[in-house]
């Protein structure tokens, strides 16, 4: 059966690689055959999933660009660091990668793509992704991160994304209920489903220190629970609604509304004269 492809998208630094690696581990822990592919030239996507296993060049590489590297990871998962395989925004090398005997013979249930480019018009999925393609959006409550998710939603509503399903929003790095309210308000407005909320947690650093995913390093922490929850939405294979996006004016109005709410709460100054 063709693999299901999960594409993890979001602004740089928002927690995509953390989400991708922990989702991979949670799916592998549920007995699934998982390939995790990172497209970052720092080769840092699979570190916690592969632990101390060393990377080696992929055999029989015929693709353009530098040869990708691979290692086995947690629960027999397959870790690949592909570097930047994009040419003019198109993941041409990724197509070659999916056709490589190493990946084909592994016969994955899920291929998780941790893309390092930001969602924009140039976002093109590997042509060899024959199975279902599901996009997961990672965001914090920062405006830049939410803006990137809004761009993704705009792209999801274009013709080139018609074969793509939506996998939900993973809200990351929450440090208080207000942050969660900001993102859930955006999700409500666009009709997006929140797959899980992950708090800002030192356990994520602990997992980096141990060089293990949270599934391994802290199986019963609440952050680990959040990643298992994301895996659950993937395993349940629900057809999620395709979110709408906010146009420039609506996004601006939304941002100003939250600016005012937070200013009122932080300073006690109410603009329209009413009480909080």
Binding site for ligand ADP (CB under 6 A): 10, 12-18, 172-173, 198, 200-201, 204-205, 208
Window 89-148: residues binding Mg ion (CB under 5 A):
none
Distance of closest approach, residue 240 Cβ to ligand ADP, in angstroms: 21
Helix axes 202-210, 222-236, angle to 10 degrees: 80
CA distance 97 to 68: 8
Helices (H), 165-211: 177-190, 202-210
What is the three-class DSSP state of 268?
A: coil
Distance of closest approach, residue 93 Cβ to Mg ion, in angstroms: 17
Size of the site for Mg ion (CB under 5 A): 2
- Unique residue bearing structure tokens 């080769």: 43
Helices (H) and strands (E) in the chain, counts: 10, 9
Distance of closest approach, residue 135 Cβ to ligand ADP, in angstroms: 15
Vertex 73: Cα angle to 67 and 78 (nearest 5):
50
| Residue 77 vs 201, nearer CB to ligand ADP | 201
204 binds, among Mg ion, ligand ADP, none (CB under 5 to 8 A by kind): ligand ADP
Distance of closest approach, residue 20 Cβ to ligand ADP, in angstroms: 8
**Per-residue contact flags (x/-) with Mg ion for residues 42 to 81, judged by CB under 5 A:** ----------------------------------------
**Radius of gyration for the chain, computed over Cα atoms and rounded to the nearest angstrom:** 19
| Residue 193 vs 211, nearer CB to Mg ion | 211
Q: Which range touches Mg ion (CB under 5 A), out of 12-20, 50-58, 145-153, 262-270?
A: 12-20
CA distance 38 to 44: 7
221 binds, among ligand ADP, Mg ion, none (CB under 5 to 8 A by kind): none
Q: Does 17 bind Mg ion (CB under 5 A)?
A: yes
- Would you say 71 and 49 are in contact if contact means Cβ atoms under 8 Å apart? no
| Residue 209 vs 265, nearer CB to ligand ADP | 209
| Residue 3 vs 115, nearer CB to ligand ADP | 115
Give the E-state strand segments of 4-114 in sequence order: 4-9, 34-38, 56-57, 69-72, 78-81, 110-114
| Residue 13 vs 101, nearer CB to ligand ADP | 13
| Residue 34 vs 148, nearer CB to ligand ADP | 148
- Would you say 18 and 208 are in contact if contact means Cβ atoms under 8 Å apart? no
Q: How many Å from the N-terminal Cα to the C-terminal Cα in the chain?
A: 56
| Residue 64 vs 209, nearer CB to ligand ADP | 209
201 binds, among Mg ion, ligand ADP, none (CB under 5 to 8 A by kind): ligand ADP
Q: Whose CA is closest to 39, among 110, 102, 90? A: 90
- Would you say 38 and 44 are in contact if contact means Cβ atoms under 8 Å apart? yes
Residue of closest CB approach to Mg ion: 17
Residues in touch with Mg ion (CB under 5 A): 16-17
């Amino acid at each position: 059966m063709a693999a299901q492809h999960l594409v993890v998208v979001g602004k740089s630094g928002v927690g995509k690689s953390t989400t991708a690696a922990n989702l991979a581990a949670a799916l592998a822990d549920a007995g699934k055959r998982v390939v995790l592919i990172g497209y970052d030239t720092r080769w840092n996507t699979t570190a916690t999933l592969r632990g101390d296993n060393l990377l080696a060049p992929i055999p029989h590489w015929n693709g353009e660009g530098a040869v990708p590297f691979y290692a086995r990871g947690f629960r027999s998962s397959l870790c690949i660091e592909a570097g930047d395989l994009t040419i003019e925004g198109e993941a041409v090398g990724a197509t070659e990668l999916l056709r490589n005997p190493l990946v084909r013979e592994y016969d994955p249930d899920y291929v998780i793509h941790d893309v390092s480019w930001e969602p924009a018009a140039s976002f093109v999925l590997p042509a060899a992704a024959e199975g279902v393609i599901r996009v997961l959006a990672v965001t914090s409550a920062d405006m830049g991160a939410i803006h990137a998710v809004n761009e993704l939603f705009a792209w999801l509503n274009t013709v080139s994304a018609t074969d793509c399903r939506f996998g939900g929003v993973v809200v990351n790095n929450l440090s208080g209920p207000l942050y969660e309210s900001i993102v859930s308000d955006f999700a409500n407005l666009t009709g997006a489903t929140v797959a899980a909320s992950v708090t800002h947690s030192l356990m994520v650093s602990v997992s980096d220190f141990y060089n293990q995913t949270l599934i391994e390093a802290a199986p019963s922490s609440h952050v680990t629970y959040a990643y298992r929850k994301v895996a659950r939405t993937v395993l349940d294979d629900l057809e999620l609604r395709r979110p709408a996006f906010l146009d420039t004016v609506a996004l601006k109005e939304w941002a100003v509304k939250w600016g005012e709410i937070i200013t009122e709460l932080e300073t006690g100054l109410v603009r329209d004269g009413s009480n909080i």
